[in-house]
């Protein structure tokens, strides 16, 4: 088993990669290869051209941008887990990555690859939805920015042109006394999430001042529980408030597949929302 | 016409060269191009872990990397884990002692993965070891012998250093 023939390109600048994407019609971008390579090996995709980003300088790495964390698209998942800026400013990212595949796949897999592949159950898109991350794309007419809320257009279809390249992600830093919770239910550890929930809570003077809840795996792309988030603001971070948020999750739109029904996903989402919020609150309370 | 590239890499400490078709996986190149058949190709989509090798010291799936991407890098396969005189590494010795294999198909991936894991986690718990090999499928042993071997090897390596 191996891929159908293709022409391989290994540009050394992002500009060169964009030129190649503009020039060739049937081209696939190869980042860490942990999703594209299996699809090539099984001939689910049969591109004429493969454009490998691994030799490009300057689109990998993590930088503290003050009120944001700037992450290059080719940053490996392993490097996100080992990074001090992320560990202090957005520890949920490192924690959630424990659920992404296995350590051997995280050594190659990249954040940009995961965001462009946009698997409904993937953890990194769920986290970028949580943070309202800003994505930077480069195309023939220069760079443009896309907020994550506008990134998924449909099932595994990101808002990226055929001649565009995702180069970086900007993750806003949550000020104040913020706690986080990430919980996931999968059939086996490292397998795709049936449902994953990520939550952030900022608590000040015994009241929630800011909340975000992102649910992955339930629908065709990550969804934010905006109504429940709004209801949490001003409330005390207690079991009753989290139960109400969980009830809200029970009403979300969910997928059905060969193994798991839509109703089961809704029940799971409700349970996991409650757990993620409790975890977030206990971290926020510890910080006081 | 086939799209080919000349590559130069270090495999188990030796400099090697080859001409590869760009669609060839690193695993296939190691086996068919360099006759290093210790690396086993199983599922060829990143799930079974049998093909795991070390690239610049980090464990990766050789079925999910193109041979052309290994140009200029340092690869260690299961053949490179023992000493030059054939003395087994502490981990290999422990696999022998604890019956960490039966048919041996998963063994190269288990050994390379655990070599990298133990280097970074010299004192792992049983749970840590089980999580480390959660991406390596063994259908013979039930994993118990493999976990015992990894824990015993870690102990031996801690004493040695």
In a domain, A209, yes or no: yes
Q: Which two tokens stand for residue A228?
A: 């429940």
Average pLDDT value for residue range A178-191:
91
Same domain, A67 and A164: yes
In a domain, A2, yes or no: no
Same domain, A130 and A193: no
Asked if pLDDT for residue B161 goes beyond 70, the answer is no
Average pLDDT value for residue range B70-99:
97
Same domain, A241 and A151: no
Tell which residue, A137, A170, A153, A162, has the closest CA to residue A68: A170
In the structure, what pLDDT confidence band is assigned to residue B116 with cuts at 50, 70 and 90?
Answer: very high
Q: Hey, are the CB atoms on A108 and B65 less than 8 Å from each other?
A: yes
CA–CA distance, B99 with B44 (Å, rounded to integer): 26
Same domain, A47 and A107: no
pLDDT of residue A288: 57
For the domain that residue A264 is a member of, what is the CATH number?
3.30.390.50
Number of domains in chain A: 3
Same domain, A136 and A198: no
Q: How would you classify the pairing of strands A165-172 and A134-139?
A: antiparallel
> Which residues make Cβ contacts (< 8 Å) with residue A20, sequence separation at least 6?
A9, A11, A27, A49, A51
Same domain, A118 and A197: no
Same domain, A67 and A166: yes
pLDDT of residue B27: 98
Domains of chain B (ranges; CATH) run 4-80 (3.10.20.30), 90-160 (1.10.150.120)
Q: Please report which residue ranges of chain A form alpha helices under DSSP H.
A: 14-23, 36-41, 77-82, 84-89, 91-97, 103-106, 111-117, 123-131, 226-232, 239-249, 262-287
Q: Which two tokens stand for residue B72?
A: 């200029």
A148 to each of A116, A140, A212, A221, how far by Cα in Å?
11, 21, 14, 11
CA–CA distance, B107 with B89 (Å, rounded to integer): 14
pLDDT of residue A287: 65
Asked if pLDDT for residue A165 goes beyond 80, the answer is yes
Q: Which of A39, A48, A102, A117 to mutate to test the interface with B (most CBs of B within 10 A)?
A: A102
In the structure, what pLDDT confidence band is assigned to residue A192 with cuts at 50, 70 and 90?
Answer: confident
Determine whether A159 is exposed, middle or buried from the number of CB atoms within 10 Å of its CB (0-12, 13-18, 19+).
middle
Asked if pLDDT for residue A186 goes beyond 70, the answer is yes
Q: Which domain holds residue A72?
A: 62-172
Average pLDDT value for residue range A103-116:
98
In a domain, A266, yes or no: yes
Same domain, A230 and A205: yes
Q: Hey, are the CB atoms on A2 and B117 less than 8 Å from each other?
A: no
Asked if pLDDT for residue A1 goes beyond 70, the answer is no
Same domain, A160 and A102: yes
Same domain, A132 and A185: no
Q: Hey, are the CB atoms on A38 and B24 less than 8 Å from each other?
A: no
CA–CA distance, A232 with A227 (Å, rounded to integer): 9
Phi (first) and psi of residue B114, to 5 degrees: -70, -30
Q: Hey, are the CB atoms on B134 and A189 less than 8 Å from each other?
A: yes
In a domain, A57, yes or no: no
Q: Answer with the one of A141, A172, A203 that is the final residue of a domain.
A: A172
Counting residues of chain B whose pLDDT is more than 90, the rounded percentage is 98
In a domain, A163, yes or no: yes
For the domain that residue A131 is a member of, what is the CATH number?
3.30.465.10
Interface pTM, i.e. ipTM? 0.96
Average pLDDT value for residue range A50-74:
97
Do residues A212 and A131 touch, judged by C-beta distance below 8 A?
yes
Tell which residue, A201, A209, A149, has the closest CA to residue A180: A201
CA–CA distance, B73 with B68 (Å, rounded to integer): 10
pLDDT of residue B82: 96
In a domain, A81, yes or no: yes
Q: Answer with the one of A172, A200, A233 that is the final residue of a domain.
A: A172
Asked if pLDDT for residue A189 goes beyond 90, the answer is no
For the domain that residue A25 is a member of, what is the CATH number?
3.30.43.10
Asked if pLDDT for residue A50 goes beyond 80, the answer is yes
């Amino acid at each position: 088993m191996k891929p159908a023939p293709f022409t391989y390109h290994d540009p050394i600048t992002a500009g060169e990669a964009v030129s190649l994407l503009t020039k060739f019609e049937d081209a696939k971008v190869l980042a860490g290869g942990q999703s594209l390579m299996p699809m090539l090996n099984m001939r689910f995709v049969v591109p004429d051209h493969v454009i490998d980003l691994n030799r490009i300088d300057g689109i990998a790495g993590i930088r503290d941008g003050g009120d944001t964390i700037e992450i290059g698209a080719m940053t490996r998942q392993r490097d996100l887990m080992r990074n001090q800026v992320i560990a202090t400013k957005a520890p949920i990212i490192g924690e959630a990555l424990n659920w992404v595949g296995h350590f051997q796949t995280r050594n190659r897999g990249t954040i940009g690859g995961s965001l462009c592949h946009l698997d409904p159950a993937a953890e990194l898109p769920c986290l970028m939805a949580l943070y309202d991350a800003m994505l930077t794309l480069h195309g023939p007419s220069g760079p443009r920015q896309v907020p994550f809320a506008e990134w998924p257009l449909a099932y595994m279809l990101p808002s990226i042109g055929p001649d565009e390249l995702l180069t970086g992600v900007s993750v806003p830093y949550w000020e104040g006394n913020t706690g986080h919770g990430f919980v996931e239910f999968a059939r086996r550890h490292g397998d795709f999430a049936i449902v994953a929930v990520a939550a952030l809570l900022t608590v000040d003077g015994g009241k929630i001042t800011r909340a975000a809840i992102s649910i992955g795996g339930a629908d065709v792309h990550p969804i934010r529980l905006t109504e429940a988030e709004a209801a949490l603001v001003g409330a005390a971070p207690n079991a009753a408030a989290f139960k109400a948020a969980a009830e809200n999750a029970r009403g979300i739109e969910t997928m059905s597949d060969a193994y798991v029904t839509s109703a089961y996903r809704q029940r799971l989402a409700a349970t996991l929302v409650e757990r993620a919020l409790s975890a977030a609150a206990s971290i926020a309370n510890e910080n006081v | 016409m086939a799209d080919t590239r000349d590559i130069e890499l270090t495999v188990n400490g030796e400099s090697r060269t080859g001409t590869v078709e760009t669609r060839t996986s690193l695993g296939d190149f190691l086996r068919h191009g360099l006759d290093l058949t210790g690396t086993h190709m199983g599922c060829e989509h990143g799930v079974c872990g049998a093909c795991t090798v070390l690239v610049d010291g980090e464990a990766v799936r050789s079925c999910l990397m193109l041979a052309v991407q290994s140009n200029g890098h340092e690869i260690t396969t299961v053949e490179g884990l023992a000493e030059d005189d054939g003395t087994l590494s502490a981990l290999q010795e422990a696999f022998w002692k604890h019956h960490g294999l039966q048919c041996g198909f998963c063994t190269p991936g288990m050994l390379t993965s655990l070599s990298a894991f133990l280097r970074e986690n010299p004192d792992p718990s049983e749970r840590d070891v089980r999580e480390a090999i959660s991406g390596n499928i063994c259908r013979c042993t039930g994993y118990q012998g493999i976990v015992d071997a990894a824990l015993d090897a870690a102990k031996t390596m801690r004493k040695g250093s």
